[in-house]
Amino acid sequence: MKNIFTLLVIGMMTFTSFSQSNTALSKHFESYYEQMKEQGDMRGVINALTHLNVLSPSEARKDTLAYFYSKAGQYRQALSILGTEKNTSDSDIAIEVKAISLKALNQPQLAVQQFDIMFSRKPDVFLAYELADLNLQIGKIVEAQTYIKYGLENTKEDDMLPFYEANPPYQVPLKAALTYQQGLLKYNQDKTKIDEALKFIDQAITMAPEFKLAKQIKELLQNQKQAAAQETTTPQNQED
């Protein structure tokens, strides 16, 4: 009986010691986390949150850790925490991180699912542009057309959209970007109607003369049109 009592006392002491140690570690890493945020040290923030999530796991802490991974451009690590599944019960942060990470990793089929959830929670003209772009990439023409229409009907004159494919990056009016998407939509609906597609792209360039992406696509379409014209006018070789 005495031995059992002794074991219970030792067990309680061990448990109390562990709890105190766990609490002390949590306080340490909470302070470390705040300090790293203040210093703008992303690596330190991620390390602190990783320790805190091990010591005291929670959905909110997991989502925050994934968010900082995505901010650091570590999209695979962010998705390793959150997964890629479509889950309408996910937090706003989790949905946004999934959407951004999947898009960055060139997974439009999966990214569009997350952007759809974001749009259903809070419709937005910039989300409409993203959804139109993703749906065009995966060949969902009807869905792309719906989002372009929403964007054009709700965008404001001072809404600007940044583009990062050029150095330095630039921005154009969102209305011009959506008009450019109308050109892409027209081309995807019928690839023989290059002139109709170019009409919309020209309108976009008129609204935003610095629209480099639209100019590049215009040049590609003009070259394609010229090549098609040459094929139809070149006489066939005569048989001997």
pLDDT (tens digit per residue) in 177-224: 999 999 999 999 999 999 999 999 999 999 999 999 999 999 999 999
Percent over 90 (pLDDT), the chain: 65
DSSP readout, 10-53? HHHHHHHHHHHHHHHHHHHHHHHHHHHHHHT-HHHHHHHHHHHH
* pLDDT for the residue numbered 117: 98
CA distance 63 to 97: 8
169, 163 Cβ separation under 8 angstroms? yes
C-alpha distances out from residue 209 to 197, 212, 213, 214, 227, Å = 17, 8, 11, 9, 26
The average confidence (pLDDT) of the chain is 87
What is the mean predicted confidence (pLDDT) over 44-73? Answer: 89
What is the tens place of the pLDDT at every residue in 67-123?
Answer: 999 999 999 999 999 999 999 999 999 999 999 999 999 999 999 999 999 999 999
Residue 148 dihedral angles phi and psi, to the nearest 5°: -60, -45
CA distance 230 to 192: 15
76, 107 Cβ separation under 8 angstroms? no
Look at residue 61 and tell me whether its pLDDT is greater than 50: yes
DSSP 160: E
Look at residue 18 and tell me whether its pLDDT is greater than 50: no
Residue 163 dihedral angles phi and psi, to the nearest 5°: -125, 135
